[in-house]
Structure 1
Amino acid sequence: MKEFKLNQVSKIKTGFSVPENYFEDFAAKITPKLPPNKSSKTRVVSFYANKKHVFAFVAAVVVLALLIPLVLQSTTDNPAPPESITLENYIYYQSSLTQYDLIHGLDLQDLQQLTTSIALPLETQTLEETLLYNDNLENYLLE
């Protein structure tokens, strides 16, 4: 490959030219067209004044970014507790657990609570009505 030297290659002309004495007459032509000098009332524009809005916007975004997870977490952490009837129906219809599995899963304290709640005194009239109008007496006797 041929070695290229910048100083030895002929220059390409741009096609632009500057008129003679252009820069010497330039100041004399432009000076009368300029407004009068108001050096005593120069306006100073602070860079910080324009950034106040930017700082406020950034601060608002940061506060929102921190508050959104807290609001979402507080609303999802405390769901309403399900009703006991709903739980009983779910266990009865959807679960493959038998009554024996439930009994073996209970500890001694749970069994004592069950016995105290079952041992409530029943009125004789309530007992008689239950036995009179219920057709499934065999279930009561077997359980």
Structure 2
Amino acid sequence: MKPFKLDQEPKIDSGFKTPEHYFENFATNLIQKLPKEPIAEETKVVSISRKRKTVLMTIAAILVLSLMIPIAYQVNTKNKEVDTVTLENYLTEETTLNQDELIGEIEPENSVIISKTKEIETETLEDILVTNPNIENLVIEN
């Protein structure tokens, strides 16, 4: 490889040149190009607090609405009646009452449960007993 010597090689001109006396006349040229009118009259002053206040009010409104929607949904969709499955699960799992005590508490004349039941025909009862494989369990419980 041939050794490269920076001082001996021909130099290439950059192509960029500054005009004559550019830096000497720069300050005077700049002052001449500036507008003569005062700057305060041209600029319009906008209050930052007004923009900030509207942004804060918007954020507060969105926050309140986002918190109120789930509450309003729960209030409007709340079911006032207890379904029978929930009641049965509660009585079997959460209480210490056994089956005999529950049956003893039900009075036939005042009970809604008994009044809603229909009488089962003997043929239907026989069909249920024949098709049920756990007939011994039903007989032992009663």
When the two structures are superposed, what TM-score results if normalisation uses the length of structure 1?
Answer: 0.49
More helix by proportion, 1 or 2?
Answer: 1
